[in-house]
Structure 1
Amino acid sequence: MSSRRWVLPALLASALTVSLAPHAAAHDRDGARTVGYYTNWAGYDRNFLVKNLDDNGTAPRLTHLNYAFGFLDETGKCVSSDPWADYQRPFSAEQSVSGKADEAGQPLLGNLNQLKQLKAKHPRLRVNISLGGWTGSKHFSDAALTPESRAAHVKSCIDLWLKGNLVGTAPGAAAGVFDGIDLDWEWPASPGAPGNVVRPEDRANFTALLVEYRKQLTALSWRTGKRYDLTAFLPADPAQADRGFEIPKVFALLTFATIQGYDYHGAWDPLTNQQSALRTPAADPTTPKFSTQVAIDHYLSRGAPRGKTVLGVPFYSRGWTGVRNENNGLFQPATGPAPATYEAGYEDYRVLKAQLGKYTVHRDPKAGHAWLFDGTTFWTWDDPVEIKRKGRYVAERGLGGAMIWSLDGDTADGELIRALRDGLS
């Protein structure tokens, strides 16, 4: 422990110095950041393709697109979680951003090639590879454990995703697709998905991992003349935030951080509740209280700079069924998760909108949340009214922008992304 206490500050100071070099500057284009996650499974059951981001007007309204997810193997090295979706699947002319069909033998296929085409059409859009997620964070603790493991992990991720040396393709086939790396370690020093490796020292090791990323990204930047983003997804729960992150040091090393602004409640709770309210509803019977204001105020009180603090917003709903028909269904006992298209208790906005005639919409403007209820089934409800309200909250508090999970939940005409941008303006 004593060696870490002396070595880490020196490394941190070095990383902060090099991160201010011209090619590693952390400035974004004018206006609030608008960050959206596109998942590599969106093209399966949802049939939501990269092309749809162009068709529905999302791409020109984004500053950053996070492609989710890359995984870590048991050694802590970066690997593709789905090679077929990422870089092997051929797209027809009708499915392609460029309007041209993929050809046999071309160096790069799949979503990565589509992202390359999207960037060519929208050259100010920055695209980052997101690592981990709920099901892909098992080995982060091992990767961050020692100086050697951190160096090997970062080197493998830069080689795979930024240099584009994909398994089974020509060297550099995917070079230039990604402009940076987004870390979605869920969660340092706190339990996440079953089977995740969790250690108390994850907190300090997360900072040390960022130092190593900054060191290697800066070296790459000097060689290529490009700047690279380093971002992270951080939890809404203040206890998890304090347990897992040295907040001032973490923000100093990141281009920006996205704060989880959703999943405050869900069908894992016995009572219906809000999943993304701006403020805690007055009658909320649960403890501890969760809301956007609770989360954001906590990070700011711990030293997070407003300009680097980006609020997450949901393009989906959480739902319960077997709900007692009182108080319009809010804060009532339920028998379990509501039936849904892809996952019980979770439904895309666009799917629920098509069923809206079955429900009554209820709002709490003071707390900043809405819900649907039909007498037995309850859904949290982030429609354009609530999404615009969240964008306005970001602008009024001087935060660094908004992040979307996930872009496949929007409608064919992009009504949620338009509402968000209207609120941010």
Structure 2
Amino acid sequence: MVSKIIIVVFHILLCLEFRLTKGQSWIKAGYWFSGSEFPVSNINSALFTHLICAFAPVNSTSYQLSPSASDEKHFSNFTNTVKQKNPSVTTLLSIGGGNERYSTFSSMVSSSSYRKSFIDSSIKLARLYGFQGLDLCWVSANTSTDMSNMGVLFQEWKGAIDLESRNSSRTPLILTAAVQYSPNLDSASFPIDSIQQYLNWVHLMAYDFYMPTWSNFTGAQAALYDPSSTTNADYGIGTWINGGLSADKIVLSLPFYGYAWTLVNPANNSIGAPATGPAITEEGDMSFKEIKDYISRYGAKVMYNATYVVNYCSIGTSWIGFDDVEVVKIKVSYAKERNLLGYFVWQVPYDDNWLLSQAAAGQEDNKNGQNNRRVLVIILTTTAAVILLLGILIYYCCIRFKMLKSSKGKLFLL
């Protein structure tokens, strides 16, 4: 009886340890865009757990993936190249992107035969080039029909991935998607139930809230909070979770770029200041590296706004909003506090000498230290409990042995 109790308790402790350690995986993902002209070999893959190669286009007639010759060259070498610096990094191929035609995707998801053509070609291409997962980036989906069909696509895609895995005896491909910061659009909502059931996780795009090409005031383009609006990452994440998506299926965005506005009045240079359009570049978009170079060249003072969690600076009539090191650290800490699955970077080449990437990964290193200590405590506690229970068992056996010996002695005397 005692031995059975010990076995049960031992299994409970082991299960507790497994559950606490199982959830320690943390996604540190980064997108690399084939049009960036940034060499894949220059990526510091040691700073990431997952690297996503973007984007594979879809043929508007066959609905199969149809990368160009130059893309095929990048895709075929991507996985082997990034694994040279980090053999454990996982690679995904992203499909679509912002430049993909809406009509192509909308038509593809509307037909079972078109979906099958798309799905089969995506799995084939991923296996051909050694990718370990697939990512859908359909940012223009905007009708209830699109969303419903997208849910069906995820179901069939996951089914095909599992079938291919069983037939080939290979690890199933990871399946993810890039989604808007909120599941609720003006006229439609993302298929949360399907996403929850069939996707490994989603890349939540909490950026481009404000852009100088259409906003006539400076804005926090990737605000974590906004007390006067629902246009912020925190609100969007809460909406996804309240809608039924598990927090541990959400990967938060870290935009490695910002936007520059032209101020109406250089003296009025806070967030929300009147502006007349883009500054510095044609559309005002600037990589983090370009922003740092610009700040260094003109000696601008970088400000931090805790209300929105954003950095900004102004040089004359030029105003730039962006995420610096301190904001990246805060967002990574926030993701952990909300029990999200991790973060992703858009995009890797925009960093400045890996400054932001190291800041984000450094936050995880701190967390790893805490996790390792917690795991050590669990292991030591489990070991101590097992030793104690074994001691009780030995003591029990000794008592039983003495009782049996005493009983036999009495029988002998009779």
Task: Compute the TM-score of the two structures, normalised by the length of structure 2.
Answer: 0.77
Question: For each residue in 1:59-108, what CA deviation from the matched residue of structure 2 results, as whole angstroms up to 9, or x when unmatched?
Answer: 11211111110111112523344321431xxxxxxxxxxxxxxxxxxxxx
Please say if 1:116 is aligned against 2:80.
yes
Instruction: Find the counterpart in structure 2 of residue 74 from structure 1.
Output: 60
Distance (whole Å) between structure 1 residues aligned to residue 188 and residue 199 of structure 2: 19
Q: Secondary structure at the match of 1:335?
A: strand
Question: For each residue in 1:377-421, what CA deviation from the matched residue of structure 2 results, as whole angstroms up to 9, or x when unmatched?
Answer: 111121111111111111111111001100011122x11011112
Instruction: Find the counterpart in structure 2 of residue 205 from structure 1.
Output: 149
Distance (whole Å) between structure 1 residues aligned to residue 80 and residue 22 of structure 2: 20
Shift of 1:332: 1.7
Shift of 1:291: 0.9
Instruction: Find the counterpart in structure 2 of residue 420 from structure 1.
Output: 360
The question of whether the paired residues in 1 share the 8 Å contact of 2:311 and 2:323 is answered with: yes
Distance (whole Å) between structure 2 residues aligned to residue 331 and residue 261 of structure 1: 19
Distance (whole Å) between structure 1 residues aligned to residue 185 and residue 67 of structure 2: 26
More deviation, 400-409/356-365: 356-365
Shift of 1:265: 0.9
Out of 65, 75, 78, the position equivalent to 2:51 is 65
Instruction: Find the counterpart in structure 2 of residue 253 from structure 1.
Output: 198
The question of whether the paired residues in 2 share the 8 Å contact of 1:202 and 1:244 is answered with: no
Question: For each residue in 1:300-357, what CA deviation from the matched residue of structure 2 results, as whole angstroms up to 9, or x when unmatched?
Answer: 11011011111111000112114422442421221211222xx521101011101214
Letter in 2 for 1:179: Q
Letter in 2 for 1:79: L
Please say if 1:185 is aligned against 2:176.
no
Distance (whole Å) between structure 1 residues aligned to residue 187 and residue 248 of structure 2: 20
Distance (whole Å) between structure 1 residues aligned to residue 302 and residue 242 of structure 2: 35
The question of whether the paired residues in 1 share the 8 Å contact of 2:41 and 2:81 is answered with: no
Instruction: Find the counterpart in structure 2 of residue 86 from structure 1.
Output: 72
Which is greater in Rg? Answer: 2
Instruction: Find the counterpart in structure 2 of residue 41 from structure 1.
Output: 35
Cα pair distance change 1:306/1:335, threshold 3 Å: same
The question of whether the paired residues in 2 share the 8 Å contact of 1:326 and 1:332 is answered with: no
Letter in 2 for 1:41: G
Instruction: Find the counterpart in structure 2 of residue 240 from structure 1.
Output: 185
Instruction: Find the counterpart in structure 2 of residue 53 from structure 1.
Output: 43
Letter in 2 for 1:290: T
Letter in 2 for 1:209: L
Shift of 1:111: 5.0
The question of whether the paired residues in 1 share the 8 Å contact of 2:207 and 2:253 is answered with: yes
Letter in 2 for 1:122: N
Distance (whole Å) between structure 1 residues aligned to residue 176 and residue 186 of structure 2: 16
Cα pair distance change 1:120/1:423, threshold 3 Å: closer
Letter in 1 for 2:362: D
The question of whether the paired residues in 1 share the 8 Å contact of 2:54 and 2:94 is answered with: yes
Distance (whole Å) between structure 2 residues aligned to residue 338 and residue 291 of structure 1: 24
The question of whether the paired residues in 2 share the 8 Å contact of 1:388 and 1:419 is answered with: yes
The question of whether the paired residues in 2 share the 8 Å contact of 1:231 and 1:255 is answered with: yes
Out of 215, 230, 241, the position equivalent to 1:269 is 215
Aligned pair count? Answer: 340
Shift of 1:229: 0.5
The question of whether the paired residues in 1 share the 8 Å contact of 2:177 and 2:201 is answered with: yes
Please say if 1:291 is aligned against 2:235.
no
Please say if 1:302 is aligned against 2:243.
yes
Shift of 1:227: 2.1
Shift of 1:251: 2.0
CA RMSD, Structure 1 to Structure 2 (Å): 2.1
Cα pair distance change 1:373/1:137, threshold 3 Å: same
Mapping 1:76-225, distance limit 5 Å: 77-87=63-73, 110-138=74-102, 139-159=104-124, 161-164=125-128, 174=129, 176=130, 178-188=131-141, 190=142, 199-222=143-166, 223-225=168-170
Mapping 1:377-396, distance limit 5 Å: 377-396=318-337
Distance (whole Å) between structure 1 residues aligned to residue 338 and residue 225 of structure 2: 14
Q: Secondary structure at the match of 1:243?
A: coil
Letter in 2 for 1:354: D
User: Percent sequence identity over matched residues?
Assistant: 26
Cα pair distance change 1:338/1:86, threshold 3 Å: farther
Out of 393, 402, 405, the position equivalent to 2:346 is 405
Instruction: Find the counterpart in structure 1 of residue 293 from structure 2.
Output: 354
Q: Secondary structure at the match of 1:122?
A: coil
Letter in 2 for 1:249: S
Out of 275, 278, 286, the position equivalent to 1:334 is 275
Instruction: Find the counterpart in structure 1 of residue 316 from structure 2.
Output: 375
The question of whether the paired residues in 2 share the 8 Å contact of 1:137 and 1:186 is answered with: no
Distance (whole Å) between structure 2 residues aligned to residue 348 and residue 52 of structure 1: 17
Distance (whole Å) between structure 2 residues aligned to residue 247 and residue 111 of structure 1: 30
Task: Compute the TM-score of the two structures, normalised by the length of structure 1.
Answer: 0.75
Q: Secondary structure at the match of 1:182?
A: strand
Structure having the higher helix fraction is: 2
Q: Secondary structure at the match of 1:227?
A: coil
Distance (whole Å) between structure 2 residues aligned to residue 120 and residue 221 of structure 1: 26
Question: For each residue in 1:175-200, what CA deviation from the matched residue of structure 2 results, as whole angstroms up to 9, or x when unmatched?
Answer: x2x11110001132x2xxxxxxxx54
The question of whether the paired residues in 2 share the 8 Å contact of 1:391 and 1:422 is answered with: no
